[in-house]
Amino acid sequence: MELNSYQTDVIVDLRSFLAKWQAAGDVGLAYRAHWDAKGVAKMRGYQPAAHGAPQICAKVPTAGGKTFIGVHALAACFDSLQRRQGDARLCIWLVPSTSIHDQVINAFQSPQHPYRLGLNQLFEGRVTVLDKAGLLAGFSSDDVRDGVVVAVLTYASLRAKNKDDRKLYQENGALADFDGMALDEAIDPASLVAAMAGLNPVIIVDESHNATTPLSNDMLKHLNPALVLELTATPRDGANLVSAVGAMALREQHMVKLPVIVRNLADQDAVIAHAIDLRARLEAEAQFELTAGGTYIRPIVLLQAESKTADDRRCFESVKADLLSRGIPQEQIAIKTAKIDELKGIVLAASDCQIRFIITINALKEGWDCPFAYILATLADRSSPVDVEQILGRILRQPAVRLHGQEALNMSYVLTASSVFSTALEKIVAGLNRAGFSRLDYRTPDLTEPLQPNRPAQSGVLTKQTELPTSSDYAMPVVAPVGAADSASPQYTQQGHIVESSDQQGLSDDTVDFAAQAYAEMNAQLSTNQVDREAPEIMALKNEYAVRPEFATEIAELRIPQFFYRLPGALMLDDERSDWAWLERDHLIGRDFKLANCSVQDFVLTPSSGDLVKLDLHKVGEHDYEATRVRLKDHEVRKLKDYLSMLDTAAKVAQVSGLVGQWVGKMPPLAESDIRAYIGKILTALSPSQLDDVLEQQQAYVETIKKRIKQEMADWSLKRFKQLIASGEIETQGQHRLPVKIHPLKTLSPSENSLYLREEVGNNLENRMAELLAGLDNVAWWHRNSFGKTGFMLNGPVQHHYPDFIVKMKNGRLLLIETKGGDRDNTDSAAKIALGGEWEKLAGREYRYFMVFETNALAGALSWAGMLEVLNKM
């Protein structure tokens, strides 16, 4: 089980922050630098914790795989702290409830569970997982120093409210091997808590919004953490976010059912009746899906009842009686409360399971995982936004993590007749964004026809709209399309408008039909690059500058050409766009390229003096890795040298090749065996003393090898690129849309012909080019192209080529300009020039590519004076 794209982004964000912390030595400076690098200008400063260690937070929406992210985050934390075999490595994994504790401990201890497999892979199988009983019985100091110990505990067990939990703070002879650290006079130095504190643990706080009390803060302080990482969908006030995932990222990975379709009904009877009808309709869709070759799904309704003391008519027993009276069989109903658990031992995903209705109060608020839960029918009055967000999260998981053929099965549904719940929706329009569900910004068609019985609903009964200022900036796919409710209970459209209710009431088909329209609108948005996929609270902290009004219409229609390749098996004369795919470098390398076949005769390793380092390779994207330097201990160098000295030359080369292969790491799409065979060819030519140098000067050798490998891939892919263009298997198609808004951290002075109201600051040469373009009368508009998701990438054999400027001349030509200062690394410049040349040939006469050098221009590029002459003549 691999991290998906947004999960990888979280780990990259975490590693980036930790690297800045280690470099700066100051967590506050690192925090500011971290967000500056991401273009977030308005992030508040770091909020220090009482325990003094860095305490940071990753926000991941419900159903986003926080636990799996946490497993990989643990490796990043120990890497940053430079703890490896021989050092104390203890992780205290805190969870808010016994149910979540049992889920986590079972997953971490099960040999074939993806979480345990991930731990084993990251820590070479040296992982011990313990609960409270295992810790109290005594855990081995060897386990902590030879491997990693993960202690899974509940918050309550460390708050010491009962006699059993106080055992953690009392003397324990089984822990005599540890040097305890008691940070409070009430803690015995020979206790478990003191032993853990002495190991300076990494603490992962799962669902950290539950750990905000003074007692929780004391709990963390007593543990003497080296680092605290919070994982939550609903960050507490004051949390130090280092990464925040938006729900659209989950939607793109098919992790969640979105949009959420919300329907306000007249009363409890209407909610239950509609839930029964809607669930039956969804099950019919699911059966059709199965017969068409899809996965098995049995849609389940979660009925959120009140406790007995609140409203007997809405209590769980009355709700069950109501279902039975409506003909629902006993075996299809289960109750799950704090005291009654009729789900225990039942596998809800099993095809022979009969349960279709689950009645709960608050027991499913967190940690419960059932992708078959599709409908939340709430009969309870819940005013807390966190309560509502968490219970809604139970219906968001997408079955089988895949898109289903029946659109109704890709969405989730909320039915309510609660005036308090409806009032809470006003907060949830923004609040669910805070919880991570979405910031999708799309429009609802304005319809004025009233809903008629037996007629499909469209988007609701629209009689008057009133803006909600708190939600207009955070539009989200919580849609209230149809139905009747008390006029005091507002309904909500996607745009955050209040819609007054009418007296008509639709049928369950209305909800499904409208949902299909909402779903189609979301997909239309996802098919462009105009949807912000970052969490909305992060977007709100960025500077934001729109396209100048005079260019808005042009930019809305502009599609800048990019390279596409014909899919294998497509007919050569078929012009259907579905036969073409966006070109990436990996497509060009393909299966035919073998690194081990490349010559190494002219390859010279260039070591340099410097610190002894160890390279750990960490994934920084879907197709790339980067090295993190970790000082190598003297005894590790001596141990390796002593071992290698006993081997003959061939065995020594084999051992060092394996080590260098680990340090070089993965370089997709190349096979690891291919990389290691190539490394072996290089090292075979070295003398025994040079092999010793490889151990002592790892960074210099490894970087030289990686640079050569990248050059071999670049040469091959460029050659293949030109061959496929010549054969007609690569062409350009108008694809990239410029964003309607940009978010630069620092901006240049305003210019009347800049595309956006303000443009981003670059380096000295880029700023000089911006000043030149701003002063030319024949330039219609210019834009400082950004690197990343919304920037224009000239795709093909060169990875990540984002030309510095996009310029529209008044004669209609569109220019791409790449600037190269004297301090720039120009190793791939020739390949970029060739790529730009092919682009302008295929794109047509109205498109041009230029590379401009401050000094010593390469063949095919221009000097500054030459570029100025070209611009003046256009």
> How many Å apart are CA 414 and CA 412, to the nearest integer?
7
Look up residue 849 and give its DSSP letter.
E
H/E element, 868: helix 864-873
> How many Å apart are CA 480 and CA 462, to the nearest integer?
11
* Long-range Cβ contacts of 563-572 (<8 Å, 24+ apart): 563/730, 563/731, 563/732, 563/795, 563/796, 563/839, 563/842, 564/730, 564/731, 564/732, 564/733, 564/735, 565/724, 565/729, 565/730, 566/728, 566/729, 566/730, 572/728
CATH architecture of residue range(s) 249-538: 3-Layer(aba) Sandwich (3.40)
Say whether the peptide bond before residue 259 is cis (omega within 30 degrees of 0).
yes
Residue 391 pLDDT: 65
Residue 527 pLDDT: 52
Q: Tens of pLDDT along 391-445?
A: 677 788 889 888 888 888 988 888 877 665 555 455 444 445 544 454 342 222 2
Burial (CB count <10 Å: 0-12, 13-18, 19+), residue 268? buried
Q: Where are the domains of the chain?
A: 5-245, 249-538, 595-721, 737-873
Residue 640 pLDDT: 67
Report residues of the chain scoring pLDDT below 70. Answer: 160-165, 210-215, 308-314, 362-368, 380-391, 418-519, 521-533, 569-578, 605-637, 640, 644, 646-647, 696-699, 822-826
Look up residue 113 and give its DSSP letter.
S
> How many Å apart are CA 268 and CA 270, to the nearest integer?
5
Phi-psi region of 200 (alpha: psi -120 to 50; beta: other; left: phi over 0): left
**CATH for the stretch 5-245:** 3.40.50
Handedness of CA 118, 124, 130, 135 (dihedral sign): negative
> How many Å apart are CA 340 and CA 333, to the nearest integer?
13
Instruction: State the greatest distance between any 2 C-alpha atoms of the chain, in Å, as a whole number.
Output: 89
Beta-carbon contacts of 557 under 8 Å, excluding residues fewer than 6 positions away, are none
Residue 86 pLDDT: 80
Count Cβ atoms below 10 Å from residue 849 Cβ, excluding itself: 21
List the strands of the sheet with 805-809, edge to edge.
779-784, 805-809, 814-820, 847-853, 862-863
Q: Tens of pLDDT along 515-535?
A: 666 667 666 555 544 445 677
Beta-carbon contacts of 860 under 8 Å, excluding residues fewer than 6 positions away, are 830, 833, 834, 837, 851
Beta-carbon contacts of 217 under 8 Å, excluding residues fewer than 6 positions away, are 49, 50, 51
The encoded tokens of residue 405 equal: 């053929």
Burial (CB count <10 Å: 0-12, 13-18, 19+), residue 590? exposed
The encoded tokens of residue 304 equal: 């959120």
Residue 329 pLDDT: 95
Residue 490 pLDDT: 31
Please tell us whether the domain made up of 737-873 is placed in CATH 3.40.1130.
no
Residue 426 pLDDT: 52
From residue 321, alpha-carbon distances to 315, 348, 633, 861 in Å are: 10, 22, 69, 80
The three-point CA angle 389-392-398 to 5° equals 125
Residue 726 pLDDT: 94
User: Which single residue is written with the structure tokens 């690197």?
Assistant: 787
pTM attached to this predicted model: 0.72
Residue 462 pLDDT: 20
Residue 140 pLDDT: 85
Q: Judge if 5-245 and 249-538 fold alike in CATH terms.
A: yes
Whether residue 209 contacts residue 231, with contact meaning beta carbons closer than 8 Å, is answered with no
H/E element, 549: none
Whether residue 397 contacts residue 239, with contact meaning beta carbons closer than 8 Å, is answered with no
